[in-house]
């Protein structure tokens, strides 16, 4: 097993949910509209993701597992304009260096499905014909089987699964058009059917619970090239909700001090030690106005006009809460 790959894996692949994140992003990049996520034993035994996306051709299967083969960042211009969720070009190589990974795929234009996996110290890719509908399955077994130190950092199956569940919620709230299914140990845990724009509240209810949607106020505000839309609920409505804060910037989930500050200020004295703000909000602005790759793992974001964005969010959320209280 290549040491370089394992070091890279250590940076990206911290726990089962990190694997799920990378695989789901790949499926979405491939245009998938249906995703089935099968987890066994919190992901330490198995993480398997099936999609109906564009697939990987036989010739490209070994490349997909090779490090540095697919980096999409060709220039600084690409980096600035980056819209795609994945950009490192080595997630599969990293994951396959710390697990038993197989990649099975069939592009619609290819008659036969093929399966690839890597074996041995030099990560040579093996190929065999397989049976698979149009799309791709990535099967990750025995995560960290060869890195005991990392394995020791894993928590209970339940905790690891909860991380995956939370990750899927974040994705469910960013891609209403994609059907997501999550199973744990052969049991169905979540099912998020695809919804049209007019039915988005149905998915929000599935993710956030009806305690949120029953009390939520919808908002859509546009000004100065900024658009903020989504739902906010007065905090008393869901004070038992452990995690009810979702903020997306141009489709990507962010957790950022400036954004938090604007929202907390908008909630004002509605908040106290027990009551946290609950919201599902989407900020849209020109990509040149924002850098969402400052620190992808920490979900931080940098705006050209930070003050204006802050005040826009503050005003919009405050007015929505006031309107909801009337
Ligand atoms: P990156 O996504 O940054 O290119 P990855 O290591 O995550 O790097 O994936 C390598 C390549 O494998 C992708 O660029 C893509 O061509 C292919 N690939 C991976 N997963 C899928 C999938 N689910 N459907 C289609 N192609 C995929
Ligand atoms: Mg990727």
Q: pLDDT at residue 320 above 80?
A: yes
Q: Please, which residues have CB less than 5 A from ligand 2, an ion?
A: 26, 86, 91
Helices (H), 153-253: 157-172, 200-208, 210-213
Instruction: Kindly state if the Cβ of 132 falls inside 6 Å of ligand 1.
Output: no
pLDDT digits (tens, 9 = 90+) for 213-236: 999 999 999 999 999 999 999 876
What is the mean predicted confidence (pLDDT) over 121-150? 92
CA separation (Å) from 298 to 11, 17, 69, 243, 257? 13, 15, 26, 17, 11
CA distance 174 to 197: 12
Beta strands, E only, 113-225: 113-119, 124-130, 135-141, 179-184, 187-192, 217-223
Question: Is the beta carbon of 54 within 6 A of some atom in ligand 1?
Answer: yes
Q: Which pLDDT band holds residue 79 (cuts at 50, 70, 90)?
A: very low
Taking the CA of residue 72 as reference, the ligand 1 atom at the shortest distance is 4
Tell me what percent of the chain is helix, strand and coil, each rounded to the nearest 5. 40, 30, 35
Q: What is the DSSP letter of 69?
A: S
CATH 3.30.230.10 location in the chain: 198-325
Residue 56: CB within 6 Å of ligand 1?
Answer: yes
pLDDT of residue 90: 80
Distance 7 CA to ligand 2 centre (A): 17
Tens of pLDDT along 229-261?
A: 999 998 765 555 557 899 999 999 998 999 999
CA-135 nearest atom, ligand 1? 24
Q: What dotted CATH number matches 3-192?
A: 3.30.565.10
Q: What is the mean pLDDT of residues 82-94?
A: 60
- Cβ density class 27-50: b for 16+ within 10 Å, e for less: bbebebeebbbbbbebbbebbbbb
Q: Is the CB of 157 under 6 A from ligand 1?
A: no
Q: Locate CATH 3.30.565.10 in the chain.
A: 3-192
Q: Ligand 1 pocket, 92 CB below 6 A?
A: yes
pLDDT at 80 over 60: no
Which whole number is the average pLDDT over 129-152? 95
Is 0.90 exceeded by the ipTM?
A: yes
Query: Residue 5: its pLDDT value, please?
Result: 55
Fold of 198-325: Ribosomal Protein S5; domain 2 (3.30.230)
Looking at residue 294, its pLDDT comes to 75
Q: What is the pLDDT of residues 17-37, one digit of tens each?
A: 999 999 999 999 999 999 999
pTM of model > 0.80: yes
């Amino acid at each position: 097993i290549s040491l370089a790959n394992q070091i890279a894996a250590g940076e990206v692949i911290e726990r089962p949910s990190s694997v799920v994140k990378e695989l789901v992003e790949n499926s979405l990049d491939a245009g998938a509209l249906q995703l089935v996520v099968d987890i066994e034993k919190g992901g330490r035994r198995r993480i398997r993701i099936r999609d109906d996306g564009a697939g990987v051709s036989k010739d490209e299967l070994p490349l997909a597992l090779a490090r540095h083969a697919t980096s999409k960042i060709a220039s600084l211009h690409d980096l600035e304009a980056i819209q795609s969720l994945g950009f490192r070009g080595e997630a599969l190589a990293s994951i396959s260096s710390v697990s038993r990974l197989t990649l099975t795929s069939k592009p619609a234009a290819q008659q036969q499905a093929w399966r690839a996996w890597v074996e041995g110290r030099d990560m040579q890719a093996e190929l065999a014909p397989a049976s698979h509908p149009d799309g791709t399955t990535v099967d990750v077994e025995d995560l960290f089987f060869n890195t005991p130190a990392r394995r020791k950092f894993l928590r209970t199956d339940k905790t690891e699964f909860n991380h995956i569940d939370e990750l899927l919620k974040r994705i469910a709230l960013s891609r209403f058009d994609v059907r997501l299914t999550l199973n744990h140990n052969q049991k169905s845990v979540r099912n998020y059917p695809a919804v049209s724009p007019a039915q988005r509240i149905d998915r929000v209810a599935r993710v956030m619970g009806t305690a949120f949607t029953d009390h939520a106020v919808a908002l859509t505000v546009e000004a100065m090239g900024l658009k903020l839309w989504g739902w906010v609920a007065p905090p008393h409505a869901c004070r038992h909700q452990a995690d009810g804060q979702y903020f997306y910037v141009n489709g990507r989930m962010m957790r950022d001090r400036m954004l938090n500050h604007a929202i907390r200020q908008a909630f004002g004295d509605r908040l106290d030690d027990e009551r946290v703000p609950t919201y599902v909000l989407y900020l849209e602005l020109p990509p040149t106005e924002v850098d969402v790759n400052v620190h992808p793992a920490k979900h931080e974001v940098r705006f050209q006009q930070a003050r204006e964005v802050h005040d826009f969010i503050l005003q919009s959320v405050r007015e929505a809460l006031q309107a909801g209280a009337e």
